[in-house]
Structures are given as structure tokens and as C-alpha cells.
Amino acid sequence: MTDRLVIALAQLNPTVGAVAANLAKARQAHAAAREAGADLVLYPELYIAGYPPEDLVLRASFVTACREAVEDLARDTAQGPAILIGLPWRDGKKLHNAVALLNQGKIETLRFKHDLPNYGVFDEKRVFDAGPAPGPISFKGVRLGVPICEDIWTEESCETLAETGAEILLVPNGSPFEQNKDDTRLNLVVARVTETGLPLAYLNQIGGQDELVFDGASFVLNADRTLALQMPMFEEALAVTEWIRGAQGWRMNKGEIARLPEKEEETWLACVLGLKDYVEKNRFPGVVLGLSGGIDSAVVAAMAVDALGADRVHCVMLPYAYTSRDSLVDAEACAEALGVRYDVVPIKEPVEGFLSALKPLFDGRNIDTTEENIQSRSRGVILMAISNKFGSMVLTTGNKSEMSVGYATLYGDMNGGFNPIKDVYKTQVYRLARWRNANRPAGLAGPAGTIIPERIITKAPTAELRENQTDQDTLPPYDALDDILSGLVEEELPVADIVKRGHTEALVRRVQHMLYVAEYKRRQAAPGVKITRRNFGRDRRYPIVNGFRDRS
């Protein structure tokens, strides 16, 4: 029995399926923790597999590889420190989301996740079996409760642990980022600490995985609900914490309290990390995108430079007859401010070639959006050709407002492998541009200062597919559109409630119809970073064939 514990919290960035790489990173953290005198190292949920592993865990060979890696890592604990690490674990016919205690050179004990999430982006009940209500793990005479992520979102698991003698709660997490979620987590942990009277260490992973970004922001609350430790957001870190047993139980000596970004800063950093890890983990040499002189492509270009550095970002202007002189000047100025390679590839010849080929079929019909879409699709073909030739991944640049109502062209401006602003409404795109011009947080690869020219921010948005076109020829003003969409998508409000916000009923119904009929486009869109509570992806699974319209 001991009255002092040193626990290292390893806030790391694993890669799903990269078992050997995750093991190597775990070893580095373990060695650093040993050097710091730690007794125990805690890793995030399912760390050795990466989170979320989805159907990978249905492959017996993958589960075996994870187990063998953890058995290998266990040998490192012969000289200490011990380890608590997450992995998928096969127990007879059942497959569990598990945490293993590695101690004295072997896997000493296991605990299984009890409450499996099955909402939003989570579908763990599809691949895992729920474990029994967890009991404490005895380590050096201290009874440690190890509820896994979702186990603390309801009262049962923590209450069971407290009732069975747990003294400290150590919680490994794979909790995805969304705006303002750090406040939600803190309030949740305050509730668990209040109910149990126990201190709680909340450890979260960081990094991008497909559409998800994990922000870290790990922290410790003592039993009196005071904040003893706050780890940074969006950064790998190892915090070595000291715990002392006193008359009132265990308490962590106060550690570093990192500043957490808010509002546009946290959104920007999430988009940058999601983009960076998507490119890096998929081993693309860089990215290419169309730089139109508009706000969306300028913001995406800036995010790409912040994520990868200017030398890995290629911007291409693809002008046609309707491209204004201002757009040409603005795109070039943005590329120059960012320091990226910038090329101009006119699309007059391919567009006119398509129109010539289709002329016999289209004879006698009026010009309409068909011809506009040929311009967009010509640009898409050229960007994909550049990608094929040089290996860079195409970034697509449509914002959430446009994706919501289908203001995008399939196989045209929707072409691409990833979209960092897919879940960012147009009004926030403008706020992000202004924020980034005034701020450059440490760790970003892009330059400081005005990197998005002011004229790009202030001019009326336009696709420039016909003379004197603006977005508001087709769409309502973006402040109204985004408020309606937030009500329909994030809040699932009936039409009548959105009308009460000050919109006409006809406009709300029109936007609702546009939202529903664009579902087929969104199913074919590139993945993008989840920012809001309900992104277009696994968060929101609407049918493509859908005859329902809200009548109230």
C-alpha cells in the first residue's frame, strides 16, 4: 500500500490500424514516463488499434495483432512503470472494447467497456459486446476505477466503482471534437465527481481520423471539483501527475493549466489538424486546389498551408469568360501571401470542346445551368488530372451552407479527396478568415499577417458561371440561410419554430426542400472535418428517397 502515486497521462495521436507505429509511440511515452519516475502510464481508449477502428475489429487477424502488440509492450513493464492501455479483446465469442493493466512484465488484468455508445458518429454496439459493470483494479494497494469513455456519460458505472471501493477514477477516452465540447465534458466530469466524491483524470486522444478530429484537452478534477490539470488542445503531450493520499482521500498536486482555444481559434485548429492528419496518414505528398479568388478557396488554401507548409500546397486558377479581372488579381495576391505554387490554366478550350460536341443534342434548347455545370466539371477534370500526374490530393472547398442546399456541382467543384470546411457554415467562413488574418497560433506552418486579401472577404460571393452572377441570385442571404439550416440540421426543429425566429414560412419551406433533395449529392461528397454537433456523414443519416416535408 502506498500514499503516493505518480501517474503519467499520455495524450497521443494514434493511427487507426497502424499497430506497429502505435506501439512504437507508446514505447516512447513509456520511456519518458519512466525517466520522470512514474508508477503508471494511462493511454487513450483503444489506443493500440486507433480509434474508432470500425469494422477492422471484425477481422480476427487485426484483433490478434493488437493483442500481440500489447503482450510485447507488457514486457517493458518488468522494470516499471505499469501501463493501462486500450485494445480490442476477444473473450470467447465476445469482442470487447477493453483496457489492460500491464504490470511486472505481463497482462495482469482487464476491464471491459460497459456502456457502448450507439448515436451520432458512434456505433460500437455493431462491433463490440458490452462488458459487465466494472469493478476497481488494485494497483500498489490503490483501488483504481477505470471506466472507459461512454461509461462516464451515465451514472451507473462510476456509482458502481465508488460503491465497490474505487479511490481514483482514471478515464481513457476517444472523444471527438465539436465546438464548445470542452465545456460539456467538464460539466459531465463535475457531475461524476460530485456523485462519487472521487477525483477523476480524463484522458483524451488527439488527431484526425477520417471526418473526426480528437482534440485532447485532457484534465484532472480533484474530489472538491477543483481543476488540478489542464492539458492542451490539438497537441500531443505527456503530463506526469503526482497524487497524495490524505485524510480526505486521494488528491492530485496542482499541475499546469493550459489555455484552451475558443470560437474561431478552436475551429481553425480543428480543421487544420483534421486536414494535416488526413494527408499525412494517407501518405499524400501534398494537395492541389482551385483558387478562384473567392472566400472559400482562400480559407481552404490558408488552412492547407497552416497544415502542411507552402511547399506542399499547389493552387490553380482556372479562368473562363465569366471570371472577373478582380478574381484573377485576388487569387494571385492570396497565393503570393501564402507563398504557394500558383498556376493559371484557362478552361476556354475544354468548355468549348464539350459545348461543340453536345451542340447537335442541345440544338433548339435554351442555355441554362447545364452550360454552367460544364464549366465547373471542366475545372474538376483538370484538377483531377493534376492530382493523377503529380500525386497531390485534390481539396474541395464547399462550405456547409452550400452542401446543405445542393449549391455545388457533382463531378465539378465537388471533386476531391477531402474538404476541411465541409462542416463550416458560410457566415463562419468569413469569421475564420478575419480571425486568421489577425492571429497565428504557435505550431502552424503558414505565415503571420494578412494572408487572405481584404477584398476577398468584402466582395459579394459568386460562382462566376454567368455574367454578373452572385450567390444571392439563387440563395437567400447567408445570415438568414445559416440560421434556418442550423434549425433544420443541428436542432431538428419544425418549420413553425424556425419561422418564429423571424423568417417567412415560404423561405423556410423552400430551404427545407432544398436540404432534402440535395441528399444524393452529399452522399457522393468528399469527407470533411466534423465541427458541429451534426455533420453531414454518420451524424445525420437521412434517406435519399424521401417524400416527407414538415407541415407544421
3-state secondary structure labels for all residues of 495-535: HHHHHCCCCCHHHHHHHHHHHHHCHHHHHCCCCECCCCCCC
Is a pLDDT exceeding 90 seen at residue 469?
A: no
Is a pLDDT exceeding 80 seen at residue 351?
A: yes
Which of these, 283, 141, 142, lies nearest to 201 by C-alpha position? Answer: 142
Count CB neighbours of 155 within 10 A. Answer: 12
Which member of 25, 45, 150, 521 is catalytic? 45
DSSP string, 325-336: HHHHHHHHHHHH
Q: What per-residue confidence (pLDDT) applies to 548?
A: 84
* Span 221-262, pLDDT tens digits: 999 999 999 999 999 999 999 999 998 999 999 999 999 999
Q: 4-254: what CATH class? A: alpha beta
DSSP string, 245-277: EETTEEEEPP--BPPPP-HHHHHHHHHHHHHHH
Indicate if 181 belongs to the active site. Answer: no
Q: What is the mean pLDDT of the chain?
A: 94
Q: What per-residue confidence (pLDDT) applies to 545?
A: 87
Q: Where in the chain is the domain with CATH 3.60.110.10?
A: 4-254
Phi, psi dihedrals of residue 544, rounded to the nearest 5°: -75, -50
Least confident piece of the model among 120-129, 315-324, 351-360, 543-552: 543-552
* Burial of residue 492 (number of CB atoms within 10 Å: 0-12, 13-18, 19+): exposed
* Span 15-33, pLDDT tens digits: 999 999 999 999 999 999 9
Is a pLDDT exceeding 90 seen at residue 549?
A: no
Rounded distance, CA 337 to CA 104, Å? Answer: 56
Residue 34 or 465, more confident = 34
> What residues does 134 pair with on adjacent strands?
none
Q: Summarize the confidence of residues 469-474 as an average pLDDT.
A: 69
Which member of 25, 66, 113, 422 is catalytic? 113
Which member of 25, 66, 149, 464 is catalytic? 149
- Domain 264-523 sits in CATH at 3.40.50.620
Rounded distance, CA 269 to CA 273, Å? Answer: 6
Q: What's the CA dihedral at 353, 359, 361, 366 to 10 degrees?
A: 120
Classify 456 as helix, strand or coil.
Answer: helix
Q: What per-residue confidence (pLDDT) applies to 466?
A: 66
What the block records as the C-alpha cell of 393 is 490530393
Which of these, 240, 172, 235, lies nearest to 203 by C-alpha position? Answer: 172
pLDDT band at 473 (very low <50, low <70, confident <90, very high): low
Rounded distance, CA 162 to CA 197, Å? Answer: 8
Is a pLDDT exceeding 70 seen at residue 175?
A: yes
Q: Where in the chain is the domain with CATH 3.40.50.620?
A: 264-523
Indicate if 113 belongs to the active site. Answer: yes
- Helices and strands (DSSP H and E) totals, the chain: 16, 19
Classify 473 as helix, strand or coil.
Answer: helix
Instruction: Look up cell 503519467; give the residue.
Output: 8
Q: What per-residue confidence (pLDDT) applies to 255?
A: 93
Indicate if 336 belongs to the active site. Answer: no
